[in-house]
Amino acid sequence: MSSCRKRCKREMFKFAQYLYRLITGTLHADSVEDELELSAVRHRPEGLEQLEALTRFNRKELQILYRGFKNECPSGVVNEDTFKVIYSQFFPQGDASMYAHFLFNAFDTDKDGSVSFEDFVMGLSILLRGSVQEKLNWAFNLYDINKDGYITKEEMLDIMKAIYDMMGKCTYPLLKDDTPRQHVEIFFQKMDKNKDGVVTIDEFIDCCQNDENIMRSMQLFENVI
Amino acid sequence: MAAGVAAWLPFARAAAIGWMPVASAPMPTPPPDNRRKQDGLILLNVSGQKFQTWRNTLERYPDTLLGSTEREFFFHEETNEYFFDRDPDIFRYILNFYRTGKLHYPRQECISAYDEELAFFGIIPEIIGDCCYEEYKDRRRENQERIQDDEDSENQNDMVPPDMTFRETMWRAFENPHTSTMALVFYYVTGFFIAVSVMANVVETVPCGTLPNRVKQVSCGERYALAFFCLDTACVMIFTVEYLLRLMAAPSRWNFIKSVMSVIDVVAIMPYYIGLVMTDNEDVSGAFVTLRVFRVFRIFKFSRHSAGLRILGYTLKSCASELGFLLFSLTMAIIIFATVMFYAEKGSSASKFTSIPAAFWYTIVTMTTLGYGDMVPKTIVGKIVGSVCSLSGVLVIALPVPVIVSNFSRIYHQSQRADKRRAQKKTKLGRIAARKSGGTNAYLQYKSNEVTASKAAGQALVCKANPMFDTHHNHLLHCLEKTTNHEFVDEQTFETSLLEVSMAKHPPHSPSLSSGSSSQGLSCCSRRNKRKSFNVPNSNMTGGHRNSIQELSTIHIRERPITNSRSSLNAKFEETVPLNCKQPYITAAIITLPMPPVTRPEDDGSASSPDYSQANIVRVSAL
């Protein structure tokens, strides 16, 4: 009952204030300028020397990478939406947002919701200059959505759907609804040695190392920068 | 935009490693990657315009880009300078900030470009000096409003989401009548009935001549009571049905009931129902007559149909403060002058100013300069007070009015601009869509040029703006194709293959099919035998067509793209053999010859080769 009364009083007070403001003509004074927020997020990366030590890029390469990075994201960090927009521009026919989401989670190693230049460059260092073992590790980390050390069929299905989404609908042959599922089945048949329904990191690495195609394609992007 | 995206291409290619373990086919070889020379100079050389300043000047503000170690990323050893690929005109203002400590905003620059530069160099806009701050804020607010407007109208005019429930469709139809024909019809019908109802209310009070055995004039409403009653019933039924439908379709019923339009609707139809209920009761029939006044509220229902009315209402609402002030000051003045007038005229005989409230009427009429003349002061003091009253009335009323008028004008122009922008946006989106389809065609074109001997000629067609970027991008898309074992095709092939699938479901009429699908299939017969040998391993790729007639159709469909010379086909065959050893993939590679050469004769839009180069060049900048 007392809370009701308090609320009544508050409402009356607000109404009286409103009448007062109406009379003195100051109704809108303070509601105008409060929407301009300071964009508080600004991130500056570590110095060139530290990054050179942390990654396998040399100075020049880091400079080139940073310039591109900074152009697209002047605030110094990429959030997930910007990431999706950037990645989608490479795949205009399809919808790259789901795969970009998984990529983002793979790059954002400290899980703070944004990819800073350090995260970005360390991820690239593994992908472009790392050993095959490291690359496979990274790929496993990408597929393992909940990072529990096992790839389940559901996780793989999500990844597969995301990859197929990038193709869009104008494909030949026609994309059917269960194409991703079939692909997942093939993948599991190849990778899941003990048939327990999940793929562990060892099974994954073993199987990939025994597959010539995969090994060869891992070396594909060595000279990208 | 192209430069920014091109800079992220290495990242996109690196991320492609994520597809590798999943791919069941081997990847194509990457294009040769000649080391790009470091492009650009580096320094306080901003896009070619050289600026020089002391190092200390820059380091006065260590939390900005130029003042911290971040600028080392932009150092260019060869020329020993720092290079920034930004706008030199705006950079002038930024450098001046370091020199003088005051940041200015140039009036002729676009607000968003300026904001971007500030964000890039790490300077917060709040330190803009007082001289330019107001201008900056105004421009920024305008920009935000425009962006908000764009978003709102975009949300309204979006493509219909594919699976909207019936209720949502209905609500959409009510809110945006132009989305479907039914909604438009409904909109006009209700508008018509509102007009009819209001006209009926007006006409039924017109005197209509006398009844045969009476002397007094009767109104049309009493003479043709039944007709008017039927008309009223019809209108109210339509309004009731409309209201109930809206209530049913509203996503949030409580919000709908609270809204102004719904209240108007209810007030418009309530008198009728109340009248139905209490027609026989004599006491309240007097009240019932007053209720009929509320029927005039039906005219407010027109505000759903008229944007101008809505703008007026919105203006009044946004000027509530000024209106309130006007009202209050008028009331104050009225009370003062009426009191003085009353006491001034108290002495004179037969004065009409019998009380202060009676004098209110005189004061209002005088202050608004109406001057009916039914109440006139007779004493000298009264006349003096009367003249002061009319002079001050002009002032008090004239002051708040321009504020209201300017508010209305701003809102009205804003809505005009929104309409104009919406119209411009449609053409703009059309042009962008045409460019995008050019992008897809560019990749398919690339696939045909990839291994033919005419590589040089092919690349002559492909854009000159950034050939390295293009080849790498196309290689990336090719890798995706290999991962998923599906190829990118353009719209026409997609539609024809859809057609083919649907044909597979019904018993096909082969003559019509062959005639329908092969406008180019003149020379198909000679090729059919050759292709048949490749058809077999690939039949599983077409999704299990067992019927021979379907095979025929698939041959047709697949052969439409193949109008290049056989030598090029063979060349492709030779190329791909060392790459893949498995049979299906060879045929797949052969089959994926692009549409563009075929569609040249029939598709005048984007398929002619000069247009191709245009589309290709444009594609990079559109990215």
Q: Give the C-alpha distances (Å, rounded to integers) separating B466 from A71, A93, A194.
A: 18, 21, 49
pTM value is 0.46
Cα angle B511, B517, B518 (rounded to 5 degrees) comes to 90
Q: Quote the tokens at residue B280.
A: 């026989």
Q: What percentage of chain B carries pLDDT values higher than 70? A: 69
Q: pLDDT tens for residues B373-410?
A: 999 999 999 999 999 999 999 988 888 888 888 888 88
Which of A48-62, B156-170, B366-380, B536-550 bottoms out in mean pLDDT, i.e. has the lowest? Answer: B536-550
Closest CA to B592 of A170, A155, A221, A213: A170
Q: What percentage of chain A carries pLDDT values higher than 90? A: 4
Angstroms from A150 CA to nearest CA on chain B: 15
Most confident region among A167-181, B86-100, B445-459 by mean pLDDT? B86-100
pLDDT for B567 beyond 60: no
Which of A34-43, B116-125, B133-142, B527-536 bottoms out in mean pLDDT, i.e. has the lowest? Answer: B527-536
pLDDT at B514: 39
Q: What is the DSSP letter of B207?
A: E
CA–CA gap between residue B541 and residue B175 (Å, rounded): 47
A49-64 average pLDDT score: 85
pLDDT for B577 beyond 80: no
Which residue of chain A has the CA closest to B8?
Answer: A68
Output the CA torsion A162→A168→A172→A176 (10° steps): 60
Q: Quote the tokens at residue A196.
A: 């327990």
What is the bridge-based pairing of β-strands B45-46 and B81-84?
parallel
pLDDT at A224: 67
> What confidence category does residue B562 fall into, taking pLDDT thresholds of 50, 70 and 90?
very low
For residue B442, the chain A residues in CB contact (below 8 A) are: none
> What confidence category does residue A167 fall into, taking pLDDT thresholds of 50, 70 and 90?
confident
pLDDT at B338: 94
Angstroms from A3 CA to nearest CA on chain B: 25
pLDDT at B385: 94
CA–CA gap between residue A221 and residue A128 (Å, rounded): 6
Q: Point out the residue among A86, A92, A172 whose CB comes nearest to the CB of B440.
A: A92
Return mean pLDDT, chain A: 83
Would you call B17 and A123 a contact, using CB atoms and an 8 Å cutoff? no
pLDDT at B114: 92
Q: How many CB atoms lie within 10 A of CB B442?
A: 25
Output the CA torsion B577→B579→B582→B586 (10° steps): -50
Angstroms from A137 CA to nearest CA on chain B: 10
Would you call B488 and A171 a contact, using CB atoms and an 8 Å cutoff? yes
Q: Quote the tokens at residue A46.
A: 């570590």
B605-614 average pLDDT score: 37
Q: pLDDT tens for residues B504-525?
A: 655 544 444 333 333 343 344 4
Query: Residue B197 contacts by C-beta under 8 Å, 6 or more apart in sequence?
Result: B231, B232, B235, B236, B239, B295, B298
Q: How far apart are the first and last CA of chain B?
A: 6
pLDDT for B26 beyond 60: yes
CA–CA gap between residue B388 and residue A68 (Å, rounded): 73
Q: pLDDT tens for residues A10-19?
A: 999 999 988 8
Q: Point out the residue among B21, B137, B485 whose CB comes nearest to the CB of A214.
A: B21
pLDDT at B614: 38
Q: Point out the residue among A38, A163, A168 whose CB comes nearest to the CB of B22.
A: A163
Angstroms from A46 CA to nearest CA on chain B: 9
Would you call B489 and A62 a contact, using CB atoms and an 8 Å cutoff? no
Q: pLDDT tens for residues B310-331?
A: 888 888 888 888 888 888 988 9
**A-contacting residues in B 473-492 (Cβ below 8 Å):** 473, 476-477, 479-481, 483-491
Closest CA to B21 of A183, A119, A214, A216: A214
pLDDT for B4 beyond 60: no
pLDDT at A27: 63
Q: Give the C-alpha distances (Å, rounded to integers) separating B165 from B155, B171, B178, B246.
A: 18, 10, 19, 15
φ, ψ (nearest 5 deg) of residue A116: -85, 175
Would you call A90 and B328 a contact, using CB atoms and an 8 Å cutoff? no
pLDDT at B174: 84
Which of B31-45, B346-360, B552-566 bottoms out in mean pLDDT, i.e. has the lowest? Answer: B552-566
For residue B25, the chain A residues in CB contact (below 8 A) are: 213
Q: pLDDT tens for residues B410-455?
A: 888 888 877 787 777 778 778 777 777 766 666 777 666 654 544 4
pLDDT at A40: 54
Q: HEC profile for chain A?
A: CHHHHHHHHHHHHHHHHHHHHHHHCCCCHHHCCCCCCCCCCCCCCCCHHHHHHHCCCCHHHHHHHHHHHHHHCCCCEEEHHHHHHHHHCCCCCCCCHHHHHHHHHHHCCCCCCEEEHHHHHHHHHHHHHCCHHHHHHHHHHHHCCCCCCEEEHHHHHHHHHHHHHCCCCCEECCCCCCHHHHHHHHHHHHHCCCCCCEEEHHHHHHHHHHCHHHHHHHCCCCCCC
Q: Point out the residue among A74, A128, A218 whose CB comes nearest to the CB of B116.
A: A74
Q: How far apart are the first and last CA of chain A?
A: 71
CA–CA gap between residue B583 and residue B585 (Å, rounded): 5
How many Å is the maximal CA-CA distance in chain B? 122
> What confidence category does residue B591 fall into, taking pLDDT thresholds of 50, 70 and 90?
very low
A135-157 average pLDDT score: 88
Q: Point out the residue among A92, A93, A218 whose CB comes nearest to the CB of B17.
A: A218
B587-615 average pLDDT score: 37
The radius of gyration of chain B's CA atoms, rounded to the nearest angstrom, is 39
pLDDT for B115 beyond 50: yes
Q: pLDDT tens for residues A95-109?
A: 888 999 998 988 888
Q: Point out the residue among A36, A74, A164 whose CB comes nearest to the CB of B484.
A: A164
Angstroms from A1 CA to nearest CA on chain B: 26
Query: Residue B177 contacts by C-beta under 8 Å, 6 or more apart in sequence?
Result: B183, B184, B186, B187
Please name the residue ranges forming H helices in B351-400. Answer: 356-367, 380-398
Would you call A22 and B320 a contact, using CB atoms and an 8 Å cutoff? yes
pLDDT at A145: 86
pLDDT for B233 beyond 70: yes
Q: Point out the residue among A164, A220, A225 whose CB comes nearest to the CB of B30.
A: A220
CA–CA gap between residue A215 and residue A135 (Å, rounded): 10
Q: pLDDT tens for residues B330-340?
A: 899 999 999 99
Strand partners, B523: none
Angstroms from B329 CA to nearest CA on chain A: 8
For residue A139, the chain B residues in CB contact (below 8 A) are: 17-18, 20-21
More confident residue, B343 or B173: B343
pLDDT at A171: 80
Q: Give the C-alpha distances (Å, rounded to integers) separating B364 from A24, B327, B336, B375, B392.
A: 22, 12, 12, 11, 12
pLDDT for B48 beyond 60: yes
pLDDT at B134: 84
Query: Residue A76 contacts by C-beta under 8 Å, 6 or more apart in sequence?
Result: A41, A42, A43, A44, A45, A70, A116, A117
Q: What is the DSSP letter of B160?
A: P
Would you call A163 and B483 a contact, using CB atoms and an 8 Å cutoff? yes
CA–CA gap between residue B42 and residue B490 (Å, rounded): 42
CA–CA gap between residue B494 and residue A173 (Å, rounded): 9
Query: Residue B408 contacts by C-beta under 8 Å, 6 or more apart in sequence?
Result: B311, B312, B315, B319
Which residue of chain B has the CA closest to A209?
Answer: B21
Which residue of chain B has the CA closest to A63?
Answer: B73
Strand partners, A152: A198
Return mean pLDDT, chain B: 73
pLDDT at A29: 54
Q: Point out the residue among B14, B68, B140 whose CB comes nearest to the CB of A44.
A: B68
B31-53 average pLDDT score: 68
Which of A59-68, B195-204, B252-261, B441-450 bottoms out in mean pLDDT, i.e. has the lowest? Answer: B441-450
> What confidence category does residue B42 fall into, taking pLDDT thresholds of 50, 70 and 90?
low
Would you call B14 and A127 a contact, using CB atoms and an 8 Å cutoff? yes
pLDDT at B34: 53
pLDDT at B313: 85
Q: Quote the tokens at residue A83.
A: 């990431």
Q: pLDDT tens for residues B446-502?
A: 666 654 544 444 444 444 445 666 788 888 888 888 888 888 877 777 777 777 777
Would you call B72 and A217 a contact, using CB atoms and an 8 Å cutoff? no
Closest CA to A105 of A95, A97, A115: A115
For residue B481, the chain A residues in CB contact (below 8 A) are: 167
> What confidence category does residue B156 fall into, taking pLDDT thresholds of 50, 70 and 90?
low
pLDDT at B390: 93
Query: What kind and span of H or E run contains B84?
Result: strand B81-84
Q: HEC profile for B227-255?
A: HHHHHHHHHHHHHHHHHHHHHHHCCCHHH
pLDDT at B551: 39
Q: How far is CA B528 from the centre of its chain?
A: 50
- By the 8 A CB rule, do B588 and B26 touch? no
> What confidence category does residue B587 fall into, taking pLDDT thresholds of 50, 70 and 90?
very low
Q: Hey, is the C-beta of B439 within 8 angstroms of any chain A C-beta? A: yes
Would you call A87 and B15 a contact, using CB atoms and an 8 Å cutoff? yes
Q: Hey, is the C-beta of B127 within 8 angstroms of any chain A C-beta? A: no
What is the bridge-based pairing of β-strands A171-172 and B49-50?
unpaired
DSSP assignment of B404-462 equals HHHHHHHHHHHHHHHHHHHHHHHHHHHHHHHHHHHHHHHHHHHHHHSSSTTHHHHHHHS
Angstroms from B107 CA to nearest CA on chain A: 20
pLDDT for A191 beyond 80: yes
pLDDT at B279: 66
Would you call A218 and B124 a contact, using CB atoms and an 8 Å cutoff? no
B20-26 average pLDDT score: 77
Q: Give the C-alpha distances (Å, rounded to integers) separating B117 from B120, B291, B363.
A: 5, 64, 60
